[in-house]
Structure 1
Amino acid sequence: MELNQEIKTLAAQLGAILTDKRLTITTAESCTGGGISYALTDTPGSSNYVDRCFVTYSNEAKQALLGVSAQTLNSYGAVSEQTVVEMATGAAQAANADIAVAVSGIAGPGGGSDDKPVGLVWFAINIQGNVSSYEQVFPGERSYVRTQAIAFALKNIVSHIQG
C-alpha cells in the first residue's frame, strides 16, 4: 500500500501527539481494511502507542473480536452509528487502549442502497470512554473512498485530542 502525503503527515502528527501525551491507540476497521493501522504503524516509533488493531470485515468478526451485539447488527446494519460506537468501545476494551477509532462503510462499487449509498462511511472515536460519531459520504471509486476515510479518521482523532 502506498500512502499519500496527506495521510503520512497526519499519521506522523498523530503519532507525535500520542507519544507526547503518553496515550495508546487502536483501530477497529471494516471498509478501510487496516489502512488506518497501516498508516499509524508506518511512522517510526509507533510501537510506543500501538499494541494491536482489528480488521473486522464480517459481522461475525465484529461480534467475536469487538463484542458488537447481534441485535445491533440486525437492527441497524454493519454500516451504522450504533455499530461503529460498539466497535470503538469494544476495541478500546480489547486492546486496553486510551483511544479507539472505528470505521464501517460502503466503499463500492456495489452494496449501496437508497438509505446507505456507496461512499457512506460511519466513524466513531472513543477517547477514554467519551465516544463521538460521524457520518460522511465520500465521492469516487472504491480506493478513493477508502483513502478519504483513512484521512478523515486521522484528522478527527488529531482534532479531538487537541481539543
Structure 2
Amino acid sequence: MNNILDIVKDLMEISIKKGLKISSAESCTAGLISKYLTDLPGSSKFFNSGIIVYSNESKNSLLNVSSELISNKGAVSKDAVIEMSHGLIEKTNSDIVVSVSGVMGPSIEQNEDKVGDVWFCWSSKTVDKAEFKKLYGDRESNRQEAAKIAILGLYDFIRAL
C-alpha cells in the first residue's frame, strides 16, 4: 500500500460499502487530500466536500474554530484540528471528516522549530482521533507526506468503525 492511489482505491471501496460520505478540512495541504480522494472515477459515491481553510480567519469564519482557541493554543494544535473536523461535520453532515493543520516552512514569520509540525484529526459524529507528526522535508515533500498520512489515517479510522 505504498502508492497513494492504491490506498484511495481501498478507501473508496470500504467507504462505499459502509455507506459513508467523507469530507476534508485542509490548511497546510491546501486541497491535496481532496485532490487525491477524487483522482479515481466514482469518487462522488463517497467524497462529499473539501474545504481549504488556510488562514486563521477562514478557520474561524468557515468552520467555527474559535478565535480564542487560535490565540491561546494556536491554529496548529490538537484542539484546532478537532474543532475544524466538528465544524465541517456540522456544515456538511458528512459521516467522516479528516482535518489537517501544520507548518510546511520555511518562513521568516514562523519559528524554525515549528516547521514540520502537523496535527491531524479524523472524526465521525461521535469519535475523534487526533495525532501529531513532525515532518523533516522541504515544503513540497512535507505537503505530500502530510496528505499521505491523512489518507492512511482516514483508511485506518474507517476500517475501525
After TM superposition, list the pairs within 5 Å mapping 1:1-163 onto structure 2: 6-110=3-107, 111-113=109-111, 117-163=114-160
Structure 1 runs (4+) greater than 4 angstroms displaced: none
Could you tell me which amino acid in structure 1 is paired with residue 81 of structure 2? V
Give CA deviations for 1:95-145 in whole Å, capped at 9, x if unaligned: 11000011000001125426x521110001102321110000011100100
Is the CA contact 1:124–1:132 (under 8 Å) kept in the aligned structure 2? Answer: yes
Residue segments in structure 1 that go unaligned for 5+ positions in a row? none
RMSD of aligned Cα (Å)? 1.3
Tell me the CA shift for residue 161 of structure 1: 1.4
Q: Number of residues paired by the alignment?
A: 158
SS at match of 1:129: coil
Q: Deviations for 1:2-32, whole angstroms, at most 9, x for unmatched residues?
A: xxx7221211111111111110000000000
The Cα shift of 1:51 comes to: 2.2
The one-letter code matched in structure 2 to 1:85 is: I
Partners of 2:36 and 2:9 in 1: how far apart? 9
- Distance in 2 separating the partners of 1:68 and 1:84: 9
1:19 is paired with a residue whose SS is helix
Counterpart CA distance in 2 for 1:112 and 1:156 is: 27
TM-score by length of 2: 0.93
Q: Which ranges in structure 2 are unaligned for 5 or more consecutive residues?
A: none
Alpha-carbon separation, structure 2, partners of 1:112 and 1:159: 32
Tell me, in whole angstroms, the C-alpha distance in 1 between the residues paired with 2:66 and 2:125. Answer: 21
Percent of aligned pairs sharing the same letter:
37
Measured in 2, the distance between the counterparts of 1:84 and 1:31 equals: 12
- Distance in 2, matches of 1:52 and 1:156, equals 18
Paired letter, 1:36: I
Partner Cα separation in structure 1 for residue 55 and residue 114 of structure 2: 19
* Counterpart contact for 1:10–1:151, Cα < 8 Å: no
